[in-house]
């Protein structure tokens, strides 16, 4: 599961990292509380090379008549992505990378209170979430939409949640983006334990209206 994340990198930094051409309509950064249905920063590859462009976080299958015609599809399980009618075509032909700096997850106390955690790379570098995308809507007014692929949690992440985003290392990017032929399915596995670290953050982030760098600061 990945329900909220952080982007704290400049647009030109993202473009250099992924060797991508940038769109003029990218959402502003930083954003310390990226929520479902927000526009997010996505890398996809095509005939003109890699592009960094905005997409709606919330995959919309072609048969949805409206944006709320079915479940909000922000995640796609790696175990079933090739079988689900909503995802199977995109899994084969429309893979992408969502760029993040970190993401949030929650545990619960015995009383049911939600305790937020901030997860980032141990090296504090950019995180490349494996994603899939789909154009949706009338041809004259189409929007690009996407979902994050998730896997069972590795041993380290399982301490706070049973699932995690599929995180790609740089050597994996060409295969996931379709630039290095077939075989992307072998990338759909939990990441190594040593890649991520996490710490508790304040409950302010429980609100999807919260903002500011203080959301990722550690608390006791």
Compute the average pLDDT of residues 92-99: 98
For 181, other C-beta atoms within 10 Å of its C-beta total: 8
Compute the average pLDDT of residues 183-195: 94
Q: Is the pLDDT of residue 136 over 80?
A: yes
Compute the average pLDDT of residues 22-39: 97
Sign of the alpha-carbon dihedral angle for 188, 78, 55, 47: positive
Spatial neighbors of 57 by CB under 8 A, at least 6 apart, are 34, 35, 36, 37, 38, 39, 40, 74, 98, 145, 146, 147, 148
| pLDDT at 65 (0 to 100) | 95
| pLDDT at 213 (0 to 100) | 98
| pLDDT at 151 (0 to 100) | 98
Digit-coded pLDDT (tens) for 169-188? 999 999 999 999 999 999 99
At residue 140 the predicted structure's pLDDT band, cuts being 50, 70 and 90, is confident
**Contact assessment for residue 111 and residue 199, using Cβ atoms and an 8 Å cutoff:** no
Compute the average pLDDT of residues 104-122: 95
Alpha-carbon span 206 to 94, nearest angstrom: 32
Segments forming the whole domain that contains residue 72: 5-216
Alpha-carbon span 106 to 89, nearest angstrom: 31
At residue 1 the predicted structure's pLDDT band, cuts being 50, 70 and 90, is confident
pTM above 0.95, yes or no: yes
Give me the number of domains the chain comprises: 1
Nearest to 84 by CA among 122, 134, 126: 134
**What is the average pLDDT value for the chain, to the nearest integer?**
96
Compute the average pLDDT of residues 74-97: 98
Spatial neighbors of 16 by CB under 8 A, at least 6 apart, are none
The domain spanning residue 117 has which CATH number? Answer: 3.90.1680.10
Q: What residue has token string 């473009």? A: 15
Q: Is the pLDDT of residue 82 over 90?
A: yes
Compute the average pLDDT of residues 194-212: 96
Digit-coded pLDDT (tens) for 153-168? 999 999 999 999 999 9
């Amino acid at each position: 599961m990945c329900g909220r994340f952080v982007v704290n990198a400049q647009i030109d930094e993202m473009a250099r990292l992924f060797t991508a051409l940038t769109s003029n309509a990218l959402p502003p950064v930083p954003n310390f509380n990226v929520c479902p249905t927000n526009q997010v920063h996505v890398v996809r590859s095509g005939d003109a090379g890699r592009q960094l462009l905005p997409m709606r976080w919330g995959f919309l299958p072609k048969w949805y008549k409206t944006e709320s015609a079915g479940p909000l599809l922000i995640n796609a399980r790696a175990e079933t992505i090739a079988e689900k009618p909503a995802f199977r075509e995109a899994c084969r032909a429309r893979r992408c990378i969502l760029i993040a700096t970190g993401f949030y997850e929650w545990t619960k106390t015995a009383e049911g209170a939600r305790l937020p955690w901030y997860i980032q790379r141990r090296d504090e570098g950019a995180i490349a979430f494996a994603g899939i995308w789909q154009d949706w809507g009338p041809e004259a007014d189409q929007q690009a939409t996407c979902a994050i692929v998730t896997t069972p949690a590795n041993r380290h992440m399982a301490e706070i949640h049973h699932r995690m985003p599929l995180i790609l290392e740089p050597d994996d990017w060409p295969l996931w983006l379709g630039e290095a032929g077939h075989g992307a399915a072998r990338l759909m596995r939990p990441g190594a334990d040593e890649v991520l670290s996490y710490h508790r953050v304040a409950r302010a982030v429980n609100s999807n209206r919260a903002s500011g760098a203080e959301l990722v600061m550690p608390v006791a």
